[in-house]
Amino acid sequence: MYFVGIDVGLYSVKSVLVDEERILLSRGVVSEEEGSKAAYRVFQEILKEGNIPEDEIASIVSTGMGRKEVAFANEKRTDQVCIARGAYYLFPSARTVLDTGAGGCRAMKLGDHGKLIDFSSNSKCAGGTGSFLEAAARVLQLDVEGIDSLALKAGSVSRVSSYCAVFAESEIISNIHRGFSKESICAGICESIAQRMHDVLRRVRIEKEVVLCGGVATNGTVVKMFEAELDFPVLVPKDPLMVGALGAAIIARDLIR
Amino acid sequence: MIQEFHDWVHNRHDRIEEWKKENKRKVFGYLCCVAPEELIHAAGILPVKLTGSDEPISVVDRHVVHYACPYVRSILDLAGRGVYDYLDGVVTCNTCDIMSRCEYYWRVLSPREKSTILGVEMSPYVLYIKHPEKISGKGVREFLKQEYRIFKQHLEREQKIIIDDDRLSRTVDIYNEHYYLMEEFRAYRKEEDLKVSGLEAFEVEFSSLLMPKEEHNRLMESYLGELSEREPLPDRGLRLLLSGGGIDQFTSQIYRIIEECGGQVVAEDIGVSTSYFCRKIDNTKDPLDAIVEHRLGVHCPHTMTEDRFPNERFEYIKKVLDGNRIQGVIFFVPLYCECRNLEYPKLKEDLREEFDVPTLYLDNDYSHGGLEEAHSRIEAFIEMISG
Amino acid sequence: MEDKRVKTAPSKKSVNTAREVWPYVKEDYASAHRAKAEGKPVVWSCAIIPKEVFWALDVYPVFPEHFGVISGMMRRGGTKDESVEKEAVRFSRLAEAAGFASYLCGYARASIGNTLTGNLADAPLGGLPKPDMIITTSFVCDLRGKWLRYLAQKHNVPFYILDIPERGCDLPLTMPGLRSAFLPFYEKIKRGERDIFFSLPADHELDYTQTQWEECIRFIEDVTGHKYNQDRFNEVMDISYRTNEIRLEILELRKAVPAPMGVADGLACMYPGTYTMGTKRCYEFYVRLRDEVKERVENGIGTIPNERFRLLWYGLAPWFNMSLFNYFEKFGGVFVYEPIYNLVPFPPRMPENPVRELAIRTLQQSGGMIAPTTIGQAVSTLVNAAREYKCSGIVTFYLITCRPVVYPTVEIARVLEEDFGIPAVPIECDLIDERTYSEAQTLARFDAFAERLLKMEPVFA
């Protein structure tokens, strides 16, 4: 028997296929199609790749912002529940999980057996989210990876003190005008994001181990600075973008059991 | 029956104006639930609760900063646009920093000339009552009683009558009947097999603040009769407590959202209706004293007590929880509502420690967008509790 | 080369006496810790509460609000390294993590965050000594009641709130019918013809306030075992009264052109009078200040040599960046006067019933400029101030985290601009939390404002 989790996010659709024992496949596409179409396409692709007939899929759970558009899913679950489940599956020692994607930043607290017991999200402001990182990159005429690689070389940090993303952008511009090095400005941007992430995580009371997932987890400098904020290392999955879809797949499996 | 309650809630301006025309009586609006409705009623005036609307803000920005309660801003915007012109008087009390300033804002946004003697209005259009912040301890009752005497005098001059004890006692009887009926009603919400949804209960309660109490009492009697015969709801949902402010005919959509997500509000700690937290008015006492005591019993996050180790908010919430088998608490707090925000962290902690009840905190920015955002978080909260 | 310009900095002071304030503050924190060590009861209280009762009953008051101020100015361990966040930011983030909103007063978030660290002393100037009781008031804002109640719960110490009636719209309240007399006078207020500042409290307001004070005294007696002594209380009240008369003299002197003592000095010199009123030390400070300001006036010494425009300041202070008060100097502009923290005239002394006297004073303040609880009074106060201090522009502090301060801003700016031709410019942020501040936005606004003022004829010259 096979189980599928589908995560329909802001810009991309991710899917994970599991059987009763292990993770078999994962697949993600960046798509401008509407969520239902993209979800179906990804689902078909993963079946094809795994060479599995559709009727052997015992259950499908969808998650993410567009979860309700996935008409062929048996059940729908919120991101918080799926990410918590996925993170716990990957790291049974996880007690706190932070997910930072384009749309926002949220923290989840796990209780016994990985049960979700509390969660928090960033305020409406984009500070501390992937969107802020993208906006900052535009100001510096870099791509998101460029910020990471420049920040890595920084000898100092030009601090961005404002927590409002709009103000922070103007602060970055004035740091440029002041003649601070691009490296230190990039480090400042990463530090600002790491701090906002810490703020969201703290709202659920941090307990070790901490799992970090979502797009921002691929930025090495942010991760490093986030660890410095916490004062201990965090666990980052190999594929931090797939945790929600994985959680959905595990929940799909639990449904049948 | 429920249709009639619903109609008063959603067509309040029309219904009130209709009533006014038919009965040739005056209507006073009040902003907060501590306002002594009973005195207004005893003066032969219909007291109605003022609320905002989901229409876009248009005139209020000229006078009121953006960094203020969006619910009150919406009410004031309606005043500035003349929507509340049918009122003959407006009452505001000191129940928070913005409420105490509404006397000024209302006058500036909706000025109304009233006749004066030697430059002094005998019965002003906007009345302000300095409701004490501290509701227990020495001197509190005497102080509020004098405030009520002044308020009563204004009403008397407005109506050219004397409000004597007989008039007050008649009003007290009508209000007590209301409290009695509402208590009976609330018993239904404690039942395991719920017959009343949260939203329906809210509308029943809320309509009592808009229509004449006598009329509401009359409707309630038959409604309660109907209720006893009713079948339980098909889908019970998770039992939740709603704590918050700025909840009216618009933001009560939060009830519907909670229901859509698989929850059901079975009890409230919200500042709209006195009957949620007040016992009956003591009719063995001097009626003005009894009304003072009753209004000091109104439970609001703004008020404080004389307790040296104060914990009255949690004690109160505990009472609300009692017998309701609450599985989660949703805090739905108006943006910039400092009183409610400041008490939240401790309540969250206490609820977790003492009852192992999880909480969800939502900002109520009094907008459709805000309600939508609340939707996904409520969904996650309910999924979380359901396991 | 990287520019090492400091983004936020303290103000530059002109008056020498203002430089005494920082050592004065440091001495207060040190002596608070000494008092605690000697077993003297420590009360956490607030700026707006008259302190005389504390001195008379021999308890040592300290102030979470002021703790906020110093955390807004200093970084951990006293470092000047800009890559270290200010203490106020560190504490605020902890408070927010516990669920307190970022729109709450920075002072509240700072002191709550500090308490939540579990180590009060890991803070600027060694922080506040642990409280033995907490006394707050309902006066000025809703927040201070609930904020200090939370701290009392956390420290598990007895709590008292002094309730003061929140006065409404503006005019005499002695007779019930009179309170709405505000309306007919509104036009006059707009023209600045009538001062609506002193409305006499009604009897029941006075009785209530007096009872609140008596209960406060009883509370301190119960908690500490100390006994209230009227003679001792009168001594303290005498010093306060005399100090306030000196402070009023200073306010009179500050009207001079060129301005002898600007807002940068004014906000620095608020400390002794706001937190230590009723002590000899405080009295002597203001005598020295008065003498210096007087001398400056006599010799025509101003904050800046050539004044081209004079500015009024509305609101509390952005403590994390007081250098803003020197910003207009390069344009020939000077901040002349700030109504906040400057006390109103006290009622006459009543030695036979000083508690009644204190009640009268408290209520007069509650209608006053130090903390205007009504919009009309705030507008009127600023209109009068602009006229008396010959200001041609006003900077209004859109203190986004303080409801009572931010509420009147729109009306102040509107009435001053529309009815008096005095333009206004806002600055939007918290008082100590620099995360809320945008330098680019603020300075762009200030530059445009200065240009506008330089083109204008002074309004009240």
Q: Please list every residue in chain A whose beta carbon sits closer than 8 Å to the beta carbon of residue C98.
A: 203
Are the C-beta atoms of residues B328 and B381 closer than 8 Å to each other?
yes
Closest Cα in chain A, distance from residue C441 (Å)? 8
Q: Tell me what ipTM this predicted complex has.
A: 0.96
Tell me whether residue C4 is in a domain: no
Q: Please list every residue in chain A whose beta carbon sits closer than 8 Å to the beta carbon of residue C2.
A: 156, 178-181, 184
Q: Please list every residue in chain A whose beta carbon sits closer than 8 Å to the beta carbon of residue B263.
A: none
User: Given a contact as 3+ CB pairs under 8 Å, which chains touch C?
Assistant: A, B
* Residue B333 to residue C234: CA distance in whole angstroms: 46
| Structural class in CATH, domain A92-236 | alpha beta
**What is the token pair recorded at C288?**
């020295």
| Structural class in CATH, domain A1-91+241-257 | alpha beta
Contact residues, chain A to chain C, C-beta under 8 Å: 123, 156-157, 159, 161-164, 167, 170-171, 173-174, 178-181, 184, 195, 198-199, 202-203
Are the C-beta atoms of residues B362 and B328 closer than 8 Å to each other?
no
Q: Which residue has the higher pLDDT, B307 or B236?
A: B307
Q: Is the peptide bond before B260 cis (omega within 30 degrees of 0)?
A: no
The residue-averaged pLDDT of C441-458 equals 92
Least confident of B114-118, B342-346, C75-79, C195-199: C195-199
How would DSSP label each residue in C112-143? Answer: HHHHHTT-TTSSGGG-PPPPSEEEEESSS-SH
Nearest residue on chain A to B387, alpha-carbon basis: A115
* Residue B123 to residue B125: CA distance in whole angstroms: 7
pLDDT higher than 90, residue B145: yes
97-126 of B, contacting C, C-beta below 8 A: 97-98, 100-101, 103-105, 107-108, 111, 116, 119-122, 124, 126
Tell me whether residue C2 is in a domain: no
pLDDT higher than 70, residue C40: yes
Q: What is the pLDDT, as a whole number, of residue C372? A: 57
User: Given a contact as 3+ CB pairs under 8 Å, which chains touch A?
Assistant: B, C
Q: Which tens digits make up the pLDDT trace of A196-217?
A: 999 999 999 999 999 999 988 9
* Residue B31 to residue B20: CA distance in whole angstroms: 19
The residue-averaged pLDDT of C181-197 equals 48
Which amino acid, one-letter code, is at C210?
Q
- Alpha carbons within 13 angstroms on the beta-carbon side of residue B323 total 8
Q: What DSSP designation does C264 have?
A: H
Q: Which tens digits make up the pLDDT trace of C341-386?
A: 877 788 899 999 999 999 989 887 754 455 556 787 788 788 888 9
The rounded mean pLDDT for chain C is 89
Are the C-beta atoms of residues C97 and A200 closer than 8 Å to each other?
no
53-72 of A, contacting B, C-beta below 8 A: 65
Q: What is the pLDDT, as a whole number, of residue C172? A: 37
Q: How far is CA C385 from CA B342, C312, C395, in A?
A: 35, 8, 13
Phi, psi of A116 (to 5 degrees): -70, 125
Phi, psi of A186 (to 5 degrees): -60, -40
The three-state secondary structure class of B68 is coil
Any chain A CB within 8 A of the CB of B373? yes
Q: What is the pLDDT, as a whole number, of residue C169? A: 58
**What is the token pair recorded at C454?**
């330089």
* Residue A213 to residue A240: CA distance in whole angstroms: 4
Given A174, A195, A202, which is nearest C440 (Cβ)? A174
pLDDT higher than 50, residue C173: no
The residue-averaged pLDDT of C423-441 equals 92
Chain centre to alpha carbon of residue C153 = 26
Q: How confident is the model at residue C171 (pLDDT cuts 50, 70, 90)?
A: very low
Cβ–Cβ gap C438/A167 under 8 Å: yes
pLDDT higher than 90, residue A11: no
Q: Work out the percent of chain C whose per-residue pLDDT is above 90.
A: 72
Q: Please list every residue in chain C whose beta carbon sits closer than 8 Å to the beta carbon of residue A184.
A: 2
* Residue B354 to residue B350: CA distance in whole angstroms: 6
Q: How confident is the model at residue C175 (pLDDT cuts 50, 70, 90)?
A: very low
Q: Which tens digits make up the pLDDT trace of C287-346?
A: 999 999 999 999 999 999 889 999 999 999 999 999 999 999 999 999 999 988 877 788
The residue-averaged pLDDT of C255-262 equals 96
Are the C-beta atoms of residues A31 and A38 closer than 8 Å to each other?
yes
Reading across the β-sheet that carries B46-49, which strands appear in turn? B46-49, B27-30, B89-93, B126-129
H-only helix segments in C407-459:
409-420, 439-455
Domain ranges of chain A: 1-91+241-257, 92-236
pLDDT higher than 50, residue C184: no
Largest CA-CA distance found in chain B, in angstroms, rounded:
70
**What is the token pair recorded at C300?**
């025509």
Largest CA-CA distance found in chain A, in angstroms, rounded:
63
The residues near A200 (Cβ < 8 Å, ≥ 6 apart) are A98, A105, A106, A107, A120, A121, A122, A128
Cβ–Cβ gap C411/B311 under 8 Å: no
Closest CA to C322 of C125, C65, C73: C73
Are the C-beta atoms of residues C413 and C394 closer than 8 Å to each other?
yes
**What is the token pair recorded at C176?**
């019930």
**What is the token pair recorded at A174?**
């004035």
Cβ–Cβ gap A78/B373 under 8 Å: no
Q: In this structure, how many other beta carbons lie within 10 angstroms of the beta carbon of residue B233?
A: 15
* Residue A23 to residue A249: CA distance in whole angstroms: 9
Q: What DSSP designation does B251 have?
A: T
- Alpha carbons within 13 angstroms on the beta-carbon side of residue B343 total 26
Closest Cα in chain C, distance from residue B332 (Å)? 13
Q: In this structure, how many other beta carbons lie within 10 angstroms of the beta carbon of residue C66?
A: 22
Q: What is the pLDDT, as a whole number, of residue C459? A: 65
Are the C-beta atoms of residues A56 and B362 closer than 8 Å to each other?
no
Are the C-beta atoms of residues C51 and C303 closer than 8 Å to each other?
no
Interface probe with C: pick from B57, B106, B130, most Cβ of C within 10 Å = B130
Cβ–Cβ gap B380/A115 under 8 Å: no
Q: Which tens digits make up the pLDDT trace of B285-312?
A: 999 999 999 999 988 899 999 999 999 9
Which amino acid, one-letter code, is at B369?
G
Closest CA to C366 of C23, C50, C8, C18: C50
The rounded mean pLDDT for chain A is 90
Residue keyed to tokens 């400092």:
B338
Phi, psi of C155 (to 5 degrees): -90, -5
Q: List the domain range (segments joined by +) for residue C287.
A: 16-455
Q: Strands A116-121 and A105-110: what pairing?
A: antiparallel
Q: Please list every residue in chain B whose beta carbon sits closer than 8 Å to the beta carbon of residue A77.
A: 383
Tell me whether residue C228 is in a domain: yes
Closest Cα in chain C, distance from residue B341 (Å)? 6
Q: Please list every residue in chain A whose beta carbon sits closer than 8 Å to the beta carbon of residue C96.
A: 199, 203
Least confident of B164-168, C256-260, C367-371: C367-371
Q: Which tens digits make up the pLDDT trace of B217-230?
A: 999 999 999 999 99
pLDDT higher than 50, residue C197: no
- Topology alike, domains A1-91+241-257 and A92-236: yes
Are the C-beta atoms of residues B244 and B331 closer than 8 Å to each other?
yes
Q: Strands A57-63 and A23-30: what pairing?
A: unpaired
Chain centre to alpha carbon of residue A240 = 6
Largest CA-CA distance found in chain C, in angstroms, rounded:
71
User: Given a contact as 3+ CB pairs under 8 Å, which chains touch B?
Assistant: A, C
Closest Cα in chain C, distance from residue B194 (Å)? 33
* Residue B340 to residue B246: CA distance in whole angstroms: 11
How would DSSP label each residue in B134-199? Answer: B-SSTTHHHHHHHHHHHHHHHHHHHHTS---HHHHHHHHHHHHHHHHHHHHHHHHHHSSS--S-HH
Closest Cα in chain C, distance from residue B349 (Å)? 9
Are the C-beta atoms of residues C96 and A199 closer than 8 Å to each other?
yes
Phi, psi of A120 (to 5 degrees): -145, 160
Residue keyed to tokens 């707009």:
C190
The three-state secondary structure class of A19 is strand
Q: What is the pLDDT, as a whole number, of residue A31? A: 75
Are the C-beta atoms of residues B204 and B185 closer than 8 Å to each other?
yes
Q: What is the pLDDT, as a whole number, of residue C176? A: 38
Q: How far is CA B125 from CA A118, C141, C189, C411, in A?
A: 49, 26, 20, 21
The rounded mean pLDDT for chain B is 94
Are the C-beta atoms of residues A13 and A256 closer than 8 Å to each other?
no
Q: Which residue has the higher pLDDT, C5 or A40?
A: A40
- Structural domain total, chain C: 1
* The CATH fold of domain B2-165: Rossmann fold (3.40.50)
Q: Which tens digits make up the pLDDT trace of B16-71?
A: 999 999 999 999 999 998 999 999 999 999 999 999 999 999 999 999 999 999 99
The three-state secondary structure class of A169 is helix
Residues facing residue A118 across a β-bridge: A109
Residues facing residue A63 across a β-bridge: A7
Tell me whether residue C3 is in a domain: no
Are the C-beta atoms of residues A158 and A180 closer than 8 Å to each other?
yes
Are the C-beta atoms of residues C162 and C139 closer than 8 Å to each other?
yes
Residues facing residue A213 across a β-bridge: A99
Q: What is the pLDDT, as a whole number, of residue C182? A: 44
* Residue C455 to residue B222: CA distance in whole angstroms: 74
Cβ–Cβ gap B380/A124 under 8 Å: no
* Residue C395 to residue C261: CA distance in whole angstroms: 17
Closest CA to A84 of A58, A106, A102, A59: A106
Q: Strands B27-30 and B89-93: what pairing?
A: parallel
Q: How confident is the model at residue C3 (pLDDT cuts 50, 70, 90)?
A: very low
The residue-averaged pLDDT of B229-249 equals 94
Q: What is the pLDDT, as a whole number, of residue C64? A: 98
Are the C-beta atoms of residues A78 and A66 closer than 8 Å to each other?
no
* Residue C393 to residue C308: CA distance in whole angstroms: 11
Q: Please tell me chain B's helix, strand, coil percentages from 3-state DSSP, rounded to the nearest 5.
A: 50, 15, 35
Least confident of A131-145, A189-203, B81-95, C8-22: A131-145
Q: What is the pLDDT, as a whole number, of residue A159? A: 83
The residue-averaged pLDDT of B87-101 equals 93
